[in-house]
Structure 1
Amino acid sequence: MTTLRVVVDQVLAPVPGGIGRYTAELTRALVAGAPRGCDVEGVVAAHPQADYDRLTDLVPGLSHLTKSPLGRRELGLAWQTGLLGLPGRGMVHATSLLAPLGRHDRGLNPGDQTVVTIHDTVPWTHPETLTPQGVRWHRAMAKRAHRFADAVVVPTHAVASELGDILPFGDRLRVIGGAVSDDLRVPADADELAEQLDLPERYVLSVGTLEPRKGIEPLIRALAHEDAPDLPLLVVGPEGWGDVRVDEIVASAGLPPESVRVLGHVSDAQLAVLLQRATVFVFPSLAEGFGLPVVEALSLGTPTIVSDAPALVEVAADAAVVVPREDAAGYPARLAQAIFQVVTDLELSSRLGVAGLDRARAYSWGDSADKVWQLHADL
């Protein structure tokens, strides 16, 4: 039996974020699509037993769970300094830079291979939007990946191009994107869920962790602009790093408190209802590697607006209105104008909805998993 050892600890991170969702979805697809004679094992840091149980519920079918004696932070530092490897190494796939990177001789041990995933170049291009510690760790692990990784997965060609200018990975870079979860479906009780969420008839929706990079502040200020339509903003996502105080931003923008609602974490069924019923979905991120919420919005036919971050332009293609981020002072005004355009131009809104449905079909977790299995076979 050939075992693919997947580092799945991001699923159990305090704020799993998009990478946590990516990890769970990809690992499920790897299990479902495992070639004959192959299975998938999970690798995690030390956690309470309840967390392990939650992980195996989220990702059923793992043949084994290798548990490090170190907690997540300690394991990250140990792997950063190369002080701790992974016993038995074998075929390792890390869904982030949290990986046991070290020297290995594939000539002597052809079954030993390590593949890591770099989701974006934010630690280099927008370091001010991350914690200093996070920037240092990501840069250090990327250097270790450059020295020791057999391949590096990136989610878009945009990230591949940007990363290639930072570290010369050459032909070790492989582009394998994400996709929409099969769980993101509008349920039969959609009306009941909409009532529970107290959804207005028309609203602007944004999804993402509440941190500076996601562009929530310019979006709120956009809704206070004279060109913006009179619609409330609903924001879905957990609190992240950074001093993003929505209530203070709303007040300083001169908007009434009820004009912006932060819903926090929601279920897949609730998210599907929120996306499908939104008048427009806006993803104003200042820097992104893929932008899974964009594909989710497109998959439900929601008219979508994105920033001109290269990865978002690549992912959305012609299925979204693109707003330039440069000239930060003018960004809210440009967002306001784009929102007004989509909300008032019914022909444009309809065209975006149809184009979005078509574009979302280009992404499949099954295809992504097949590419990962093929990558390891090629190595």
Structure 2
Amino acid sequence: MRPVLKSGTASIYVDQRWIGHHGIARFGREVIARFPVPFKTLESPLKPASPFDAFNLARLKLSPHDILFTPGFNAGICRGAQILTIHDLIHLDISEESSVLKKAYYDLVVRPTVANARLVFTVSETSREKIRSWLDDDRIRVVNVGNGVSEDFSIVQESSTASPTNFVFVGNLKAHKNLRSIFQALRLRPSFSVAVVSSDEAGIRLLAHEFGVDSQIRVYSHLSDSQLAELYRQSAALLFPSILEGFGLPAVEAIRCGTRVAYWAGCSTVAEIARDHGIAVDDAHDPEGWAFAMDACSRLSEEGPIRPDDHWKSRYDWQNVARNVSDALLAYHRA
């Protein structure tokens, strides 16, 4: 039975503009589709990441008793309470991702909004601790609601279809994704190949040409979950060289498919996920380290797929995430 809001004047609103296939948009799509409480939709033609969204008229129409939940970090002038989801602080922590405007937005819009609501969501314990430190206010509850994975990501047969020379990378060309280190390592292992899943095919091919590994990569864009899952199953490992991640969804997807993960030991969010299911590299920018990790994963892949236990799998269930969000919102509504 769906819970019913008891107040006749207050409503829970949901910002559905964050709906898609990657990152925040994926979180929004999966959580909102499973939302177990009644809600209204924030109607607006503005993009949620637009700086003009801070002055969104749709948000201004909410009453002081209303609650607005957003799957992302966007906020603005509003009489009601705004419950944001801050997946990470990459916009502040990574210089290539930051700017004066972004820092001002977080300081002048995001922080006061969270302080006013005294509640904010995030998706991992690592992000939770970083956000708590950034806010530096014990009155604010920072709730890790978790993250999930599609049911398409699973082991579908007893025998492995993985090739010991095939690997997969899922991401983009942003500096913190650290793809350059993988291409440098690939140059050291001419018998290995990497399937790169990215929307920037031209940029990926240009970088591959720079390192002379054109013939060792394949680029895929706009894959369905089932297509991406099959790509994981065909690979000896997911290469995840990121310097910083708010969560690290590809790691969960790969492990659910029985595929190991090679990751940088210093990326705590990914280590949180993959510590028992992959190979850690000590130096994020050491091509030799990544080449050795690929060697190890190649050998291990011949033993067959890894099989995470039920406890590990239960941590990454979208139904649980949606329930965590809705329970916190209902408790906030009743307070």
Query: Structures share a fold, TM > 0.5?
Result: yes
Q: Please tell me whether residue 9 in structure 1 is matched to residue 17 in structure 2.
A: yes
Shift of 1:201: 8.1
Shift of 1:180: 0.5
Question: Distance in 1 between the 2:63 and 2:152 partners?
Answer: 35
1:235 match: 196
User: TM-score scaled to structure 1, two decimals?
Assistant: 0.74
1:321 match: 279
Shift of 1:183: 4.5
Shift of 1:312: 0.9
User: TM-score scaled to structure 2, two decimals?
Assistant: 0.82
1:124 match: 92
2:116 match: 148
Q: Please tell me whether residue 94 in structure 1 is matched to residue 70 in structure 2.
A: yes
Shift of 1:223: 0.8
Matched to 2:149, the amino acid is V
Q: Please tell me whether residue 302 in structure 1 is matched to residue 259 in structure 2.
A: yes
Q: Please tell me whether residue 23 in structure 1 is matched to residue 28 in structure 2.
A: yes
> 2:196–2:220: 8 Å Cα contact kept in structure 1?
yes
2:318 match: 365
2:147 match: 178
Shift of 1:26: 0.9
Shift of 1:299: 0.8
Question: Distance in 2 between the 1:325 and 1:278 partners?
Answer: 23
Unaligned runs of at least 5 residues, structure 2: 6-10
Question: Distance in 2 between the 1:353 and 1:86 partners?
Answer: 51
Cα displacement string for residues 236-285 of structure 1 (whole angstroms, at most 9, x for unaligned residues)? 12239xxx932332223232x22112112111121111111212111111
Shift of 1:316: 2.3
Shift of 1:114: 2.5
1:108 match: none
Helix, strand or coil at the partner of 1:9? coil
Identity in percent: 20
Matched to 1:166, the amino acid is W
Question: Distance in 1 between the 2:77 and 2:39 partners?
Answer: 19
Question: Distance in 1 between the 2:164 and 2:280 partners?
Answer: 25
Q: 1:74 to 1:317 in 2, by over 3 A?
A: closer
Question: Distance in 1 between the 2:155 and 2:276 partners?
Answer: 25
Q: 1:313 to 1:301 in 2, by over 3 A?
A: same
Q: 1:144 to 1:162 in 2, by over 3 A?
A: same
Q: 1:201 to 1:159 in 2, by over 3 A?
A: closer
Question: Distance in 1 between the 2:233 and 2:176 partners?
Answer: 25
Question: Distance in 2 between the 1:140 and 1:324 partners?
Answer: 37
CA RMSD of aligned residues (A): 3.2
Helix, strand or coil at the partner of 1:97? coil
Question: Distance in 1 between the 2:61 and 2:215 partners?
Answer: 51
Question: Distance in 2 between the 1:125 and 1:74 partners?
Answer: 18
Q: 1:78 to 1:233 in 2, by over 3 A?
A: closer
Shift of 1:346: 5.0
1:209 match: 172
Question: Distance in 2 between the 1:41 and 1:186 partners?
Answer: 38
> 1:210–1:238: 8 Å Cα contact kept in structure 2?
no
Q: 1:283 to 1:357 in 2, by over 3 A?
A: farther
> 2:53–2:74: 8 Å Cα contact kept in structure 1?
no
